[in-house]
A and B are shown apart, each in its own frame.
Chain A
Amino acid sequence: MVLLIVGLISVPFIGWWKALLLGLFGAIYIWATETEHKKPRLISTLMLGRTTLLNRIRQYPSFHFSFLPYVVFALFVLIPFVFNRYQTEIITLAYIYVTLAIGLNYIVGLCGMLALGYIAFYAIGAYTYALLNTQFGVNLFVALPISMVTGGLAGVLVSLPALRLRGDYLAIVTLGFGEIVRIVLNNWDSLTAGPNGIMGIARPSLFGVKMGTPLGYYLLAGGLAALAMFVQNRLAKSRTGRAWEAIREDQLAAAHSGIPVFRMKLLAMALGAAWAGAAGAIFASRQTHISPESFTFLESVLVLCMVVLGGMGSVWGPAIGALGLIIIPELLRGVELYRMLAFGLLMVWMMQFRRGGLIPSMRLKTSSRVA
C-alpha cells in the first residue's frame, strides 16, 4: 500500500514506466528481505529444492491468491493511463460484459439452468434508463437501481412459466423470450421509436461532476463489474450459493434436503437479470443511442460463451472469459479473416480438454476455512 502511494506520488517526476519499474523492484525487495525462519526469505527460498518449492506453492493456495487482488487493483488503476483512448474504451466495454457474464453465471453457472435469451434483460435495463432519461430527465445514478429492478422483474416474469421446464426446453423458452423482447422493441414505435432506437440519452453526472468522459465510464463500468464480482463471490460461498449448486448437481436430491428448488431458481434468475439490467443502463448512457439491433440472439450466445469458456460457477472465470472474448478479437484485427476460425477451434479445444472452463470453480476446503 505504501509502495503504491509512493509510486503514485513519484509519477509526475519520473514518468509512468520508471515509476512502475521502481514499484516492482521495491515489491521484490520487500518480499525478499522479509525474514522467514530467521533468514531473509530470498535466501530461504533459494535454499529450497525445486520440488519442495512447487509443493510449497501447492500447499499454500493463499500464497498466490493473497496478493492477486492488489495486482488486479493496480492493473485496474493503471490501464486508463497506460493505454490510449481507443484501447481504454474497448476495455470499458469489456467491463460491461464482465457484469453481464457474472450475472449469467448465477443462472447458468451456479444454478445450472441453460438460459439463452439473457440479453433481453440487458435490453430492458438499457431501455429503462433510456426512457427514464429522455422522457423524465432521470439521472443515471437514480435510474441504475430502477434498471436493476425492471431487469429483475422481467427475470421473475419469464421464470414463472419457464422454470417449470428444464434443460433444452428451458433453453428454447428463454430463447423465445429474448426474441419477443427484441421484436417488441422493434415494433412498439410509440414507446421505443422502433428500429430507429432512442437517441440523445444523457451522459451521467454526479453532484455536478460530469462523468461522461472515457475515464468516467471506465471507472463506472469497472466499479459495477467489481461490485458484481464481489457480491457473487460472497453469495457463491454462502448457504445460498451452495443451494444453487446442489440444484445444479441434482435437483431431486436438493429438494429432499429441504431446499425450496423453485424459489431458489427464481432468485438466481432475478439476480442474474438484475445485473444485466444495471449493465444495460450503463451501456445506454455510454452509447447515448440504443436500438434493438444491439440486443440480438448472437449477443446472448456471446455472453454464454464467456461464462462457459471462463469457467461455469467460478467468479474469476466468467470475468476473465468476458475480458478475453472482447479484447482478443480486437487484438486479432490484423488477421481478421482467421479470427472466427481461431475462435471456433478454441471452443472445440476447450470443450474437449478443459470442460470446467479456464478457471474452474474451486471446491470448499476445510483447511482454508472459507464458506
Chain B
Amino acid sequence: MSLLEIRGLCKYFSGVHAVSNVELTVEQDSIHGLIGPNGSGKTTLFNCLTGIYPLTAGEISFDGKSISGFPTHHLAQLGLARTFQNLRLFPAMSALENVLVGLHIHQRTGIWGAIFQSAHVKSEIADFLKRGQELLEYCGLGGREDEIASSLPYGLQRRLEIARALAVKPRLLLLDEPAAGMNPAETTELKGLITRIRESGITVLLIEHNVKLVLGLCDRVTVMDSGSVIADDIPERIAHDPRVIEAYLGKEAA
C-alpha cells in the first residue's frame, strides 16, 4: 500500500520550472531513494511536501488523504517529519532539549498545568525526559544529552537532527542528504541507523548524493533531472539506466 502519492506536482518560481509534473509513489515500510544532479529539484520537492512552498499545481496525498496546502506544523502532527540539507538544529539548546521540542506535540501540559505543576504534570515531565534520552541513545548520542547542539561534532549534529525528527513519531521520514560531509565510517553507522528506523515501522524517503549508499539501502529509487522524474525503478536497474548515467556523467559516458 502506498503511503505517499504525488500526482502531477509542479512548482514554478516565476518562470523557473523548479519541479514540473512529478509523479512519485512511496510504498509503506520502504526506503525510497531520490537522487539527481544538483539543482534537479529534489529539495524543492521536499519543501512542497512539508508545506513550505505552496504548490503551483498537482496533488499530494498521504495515507490516502489529500494534504496539499496544509500548514507545516499540521503535517508534522499527521506524521511527516524531515531533516534538512543544511542542518537546522536549535543551536543554543542542549541535545536533549532539541529532542524534547520534537516531542512537543505528544505532551499535553498547557500553560495552567505548567504554572501549577500538579503531580500529573510532573510525571509527564519525567516521562518525557526519559523518552528524550532513549531517543538520543537510539541515534547514538547517549551520554551527550547536556551538550549544546552547536558544540557537538558534525556527524553527531546530523544524527541529532534525525533524533529530533523521530521524536515527532513520524510515519514518513524525509531525510535530505543525511550523509553529506560524513566520512566513510560515519556513513556506515548512518546506514545502520536508517535500516533500524525502517525496521521500526517508519517509511523513509531519502535524498542522497552518495550513490553507493542509495543503491545499497533503498528498495526503490527515483531519479530527477531539471525538475522532472527521468527514472523510477529498483536500484539494480537504476545503476545501468542510460538516462541516469547521462544525467550524472554526460552524454558520452552513456
Query: C-beta contact mask, B101-116 vs A, less than 8 Å → 1, else 0?
Result: 1101101011101110
Tell me if B77 is interfacial: C-beta within 8 Å of chain A. Answer: yes
Please count how many residues in chain A sit with their CB below 8 Å of the partner chain's CB atoms: 32
For chain A, residues 158 to 204, give those with C-beta under 8 angstroms from any C-beta of chain B: none
**Of B97, B105, B128, B129, the contact of A363 (CB 8 Å cutoff):** B97
Binding site for B on A (CB under 8 A): 231, 234-235, 237-243, 245-246, 249-250, 252-261, 267, 363-367, 369, 371
Closest A residue to B150 by CB, please name it. Answer: A249
Query: A238: shortest Cβ distance to chain B, in Å?
Result: 3
Please judge, given known A-B contacts A256-B81, A258-B73, whether A238 and B114 are in contact too, CB under 8 Å.
Answer: yes
Closest A residue to B161 by CB, please name it. Answer: A253
List residues of chain A with CB within 8 A of the CB of B220: none
Assess the A235–B111 pair: CB atoms within 8 A.
yes
Partner-binding segment picked from B83-91, B187-195, B203-211, B241-249: B83-91
Please judge, given known A-B contacts A249-B91, A250-B88, A371-B125, whether A257 and B167 are in contact too, CB under 8 Å.
Answer: yes
Q: Tell me whether chain A's interface is mostly helix, strand or loop, or mixed.
A: helix
List residues of chain A with CB within 8 A of the CB of B72: 252, 255-256
A–B Cβ pairs within 8 angstroms, 29 of them: A235-B111, A238-B109, A239-B107, A240-B109, A242-B100, A242-B101, A246-B101, A249-B89, A249-B92, A250-B88, A252-B88, A253-B90, A254-B90, A254-B101, A256-B50, A256-B81, A256-B82, A256-B165, A257-B73, A257-B101, A257-B167, A258-B102, A259-B101, A259-B104, A260-B73, A363-B93, A363-B94, A365-B146, A371-B128
Assess the A250–B90 pair: CB atoms within 8 A.
yes
Q: How many A-B residue pairs have CB under 8 A?
A: 119
Assess the B146–A371 pair: CB atoms within 8 A.
no
List residues of chain B with CB within 8 A of the CB of A255: 71-73, 76
Assess the B50–A242 pair: CB atoms within 8 A.
no
Interface residues on B, range: 35 or more
Tell me if B182 is interfacial: C-beta within 8 Å of chain A. Answer: no
Tell me if B10 is interfacial: C-beta within 8 Å of chain A. Answer: no
**Of B71, B96, B104, B148, the contact of A366 (CB 8 Å cutoff):** B96
Question: In whole angstroms, how far apart are the Cα atoms of A20 and B232 in the complex?
Answer: 82
Other than the known A252-B72, A367-B146, what 5 A-B pairs have Cβ atoms closer than 8 Å? A242-B93, A256-B82, A260-B73, A371-B125, A371-B126
List residues of chain B with CB within 8 A of the CB of A243: 101, 104
Tell me if B133 is interfacial: C-beta within 8 Å of chain A. Answer: yes
Query: B14: shortest Cβ distance to chain A, in Å?
Result: 21
Assess the B111–A252 pair: CB atoms within 8 A.
no
Assess the B114–A240 pair: CB atoms within 8 A.
yes
Assess the A235–B101 pair: CB atoms within 8 A.
no
Assess the B114–A257 pair: CB atoms within 8 A.
no
Query: B105: shortest Cβ distance to chain A, in Å?
Result: 4
Query: A208: shortest Cβ distance to chain B, in Å?
Result: 31
Please judge, given known A-B contacts A252-B52, A366-B146, A367-B146, whether A261 and B73 are in contact too, CB under 8 Å.
Answer: yes
Assess the B104–A242 pair: CB atoms within 8 A.
yes
List residues of chain B with CB within 8 A of the CB of A249: 89-93
Question: In whole angstroms, how far apart are the Cα atoms of A367 and B133 in the complex?
Answer: 12
Query: B82: shortest Cβ distance to chain A, in Å?
Result: 6
